[in-house]
Each structure stands twice: as C-alpha cells, then as structure tokens.
Amino acid sequence: MARVASLRACADRVPGSGHEPSFLAGRADTTDLPAAVSSVSSDVGRVDLWKTTRVQCLWGVNQTERMVYAGGVRLSIFESVHYDDHEEVVFAGDPTSGLRAIIAIHSTALGPALGGTRLYPYPSEEDALADVLRLSRGMTLKAAASGLDLGGGKAVIIGDPKTVKSERLWRAYGQVVDSLGGRYITAEDVGTTTADMESIRRETRWSFGTPLSEGGSGDPSPATARGLIAALRAVAQRLRGDRELLGLRVAIQGVGKVGYAYARLLTEARAEVIVADIDESAVDRAVRDLGVKSVPFDEILSVDCDVLSPCALGAAINRETIPALTCAAIMGSANNQLSTDADADRLADAGILYVPDFVVNAGGLINVSQELRGYTEAGANHRIDAIEQATATILDLADREQITPNDAAIAVARRRIDEVGGLRRFRPAQTD
C-alpha cells in the first residue's frame, strides 16, 4: 500500500472546521497518514511504501499555524522563506530501499509541472526542503519565460548517488511520481542519469529524458550547454557589439556534465576558457581533452574575465562574493545563482551585467519538453537557439524600464502566467 504525504491535502484546512481531510476529522494534534493514495503494484511484486515512516500534519493551538513533522524532524514549510504559494509538496519514503524524497509542485498554471529529480547528500531534511522549494519556483519562471506550456516542479532525494541507487529505490520513487497522475513530470538532474529515468519509467509514464535508444530525448546536458552558447551570443553583442565568441574570456565554475559540454562548445568557438571544480578529476579531464586553463576552485570567482559562468550548485553569487568579482557579466547553468534577489541589485551597482539563470539555462528543459509532442533533435535545437533572442529581449526590456535583467525576466514570466495561467489554475490530474 503506497502512502504519500501531500501538503495539498493539509493546506488551508483547520481541524473541526468540517473541511479537514477525513483522516484528521476530530483530531487537533497529530495522526498517522492513511493510505490516501491507492495501492499500486509492479511486475516485481507490491512495493509497500512507508510501512514504518510517520509523516504528520500538526496544527498549532491557535489552529492557524501549520507545519509538518517527518521522522520526528520539524519541517516548517509554510514558514520557509522559500515557500512561495506552492500548490503541493509531497513527502515519500521507502524504508527498505532507503528512499527519502520530496516533490514540490510550485505551479501548474501553464501546464503540468516538469522538473528534474536531484539526488544529493543533503546535510539535513530541512536543507533538502529548502532546496526543492527554491528550485521548483525557479522551474515555474523558467518554463514561463521560455514560452513553454508547462508549470514548475522539482524533486529531491536525500542520499549519495554513488551508494543509494537500486532498482527498488527507483521503482518505489516511480510509483510516487505516478500517484500524482501527470501533475508532475520528472527528468534528469544533479546525481541522476538517463538510465535512472528509464528505471523510473518502468512504474510511470511521467518520466522524461530517457535514453535516445528508448525513444526519449536523452541526456539534457548538451542541450543546456547549447542554450548557454545562444545566450552568450546575446551577451557578447551587448558587451562588445559583436555576437561572435572569438577571444571572449569565459571563466566556468563547475565542469560537470553541463559545464564540460559548455566548455567544449566554447573552445570550438575559439573563446578563451578558464575552469575550476571541487572535483579535481573533472578539471583534469577538461584540461586534457579541451586544452583549457584551470585555477583553484576558490579563485574562479575572482578571475579576470569577460563572463563568469557558474555551472555548479547555486547561491555562489552573494553579498560576500560580489565584492571580489572582476567579470563584466555573469551567466551560467547553475540554478539559483543569486543567494537572494537583492544580489541582482548589488551586481547592478557594481556595474556587472547579470543574465538570469532561468532564462539562459532553459535548454535542457526545452529539450526534454519536446517529448510531449514527439521528440526530434532538429525541433528541439530550433527552440533552444531561440534563447539568444529571448536573452536579448530581456536585456532590452531591462534597459527601457531601468530595472535589472533579473526583475525584467521575472516580470515577463509572471505576466505570461497571469495572462494565460488563469485558464487552468490547479490543473487536474491526467488519466489514461
């Protein structure tokens, strides 16, 4: 029997009001979650999720304060600075496989929420929750700014990708995704691969980015890198009056799957590339294969360059790091590069052009979204290359309105959500 804790069921309901979920009726403290989601089975037998895990909804004595406890840890979702009117937050676990997952659906106003599953050894459940809330909001902005008929969602699984992966974990997780009935579509992200997406797909059709050999769109990293190059041409045009990348000095923080593909495209365009990564083997590979230069990881942000490209994890640009920057512009693939939106103003005050990550790193999302209409590489690349014009449009709008590019991009995304999204707020689950 699959059990999934959904905050959509808990939000805006007060015990005793007659509107609380039936399993909370008459209870003012805590309760075990019932089998709220129908049981599912697989060809390897029934997977019983959460046989022992307790997830509870707790209302404060004033019957307005709402929070969630998972495994005895207080997860104050509604108080989180990253909670931004999310539609649904789902907690799921399987003690046998060690699965501990959180799925955050920020918005389905424009369509089903599509966003990758990140497998990462978070220090705590609170850290995992904060990340998934922040990332899912970014996916809403990314889809809207890209003109896609998609909403924003994200999932995180707590664990080390080198040790926790197993068939049972992915199939249990696939059942959780399937229980959402298409409101959330998953794909590859940090710590996951196309092979993992194929394992998830054995339990649900709502797993995209499966291998090309299986009819999917494959690894999204090259597509994300292609989108970065498109955006960089718009930035080069702004900085030098020429969209060509020859001689442009680019510093890349992080040469994982996306950063390496991006560095390769830059060297092919005869740009000058400097890289850094906490993984020295990744740096060695880039230097050996691509002939790029490298610096220690803690020096990359202060490297003298035209463009700084954060391609690792987020929040690298913040109050502490901005004073050391010597670049003319920042644009890269990392999600949530700014620690806070106020950092966009700090960059503007420092005379540094910041191009929002959710605009320039949309290539992977665009690529995988094409599976909804029948994937072709040519069709995906055509839409990804349009990121150049989208970036130029955002920069022009920022100039006209005398606002930061970050504010301009958010305005474009929100305007589209307001104009189109009201047609299908809280999209119902899709059925076969």
Active-site residues: which are they? 154
Alpha helices in 210-271 (DSSP H): 221-240, 257-268
CA gyration radius, the chain: 22
Backbone angles phi, psi at 66, to 5 degrees: -125, 135
What would the DSSP string read from start to end of 9-45?
HHTT--TTSS-S-GGGTT-SS-------S-----TT-
Choose among 274, 271, 286: nearest CA to 229: 271
d(Cα 254, Cα 347) in Å, to the nearest integer?
Answer: 21
d(Cα 257, Cα 282) in Å, to the nearest integer?
Answer: 9
Q: How far is CA 19 from CA 9, 25, 32, 313, 357, in A?
A: 10, 9, 18, 41, 40
Choose among 260, 327, 256, 251: nearest CA to 289: 260
Burial class (CB in 10 A: 0-12, 13-18, 19+), 327: buried
Q: How far is CA 49 from CA 89, 100, 175, 205, 377, in A?
A: 17, 11, 9, 20, 38
**Which residue do the tokens 């909670």 mark?**
83
d(Cα 262, Cα 266) in Å, to the nearest integer?
Answer: 6
d(Cα 6, Cα 403) in Å, to the nearest integer?
Answer: 38
Q: How far is CA 360 from CA 52, 94, 350, 355, in A?
A: 43, 36, 21, 7
Burial class (CB in 10 A: 0-12, 13-18, 19+), 48: middle
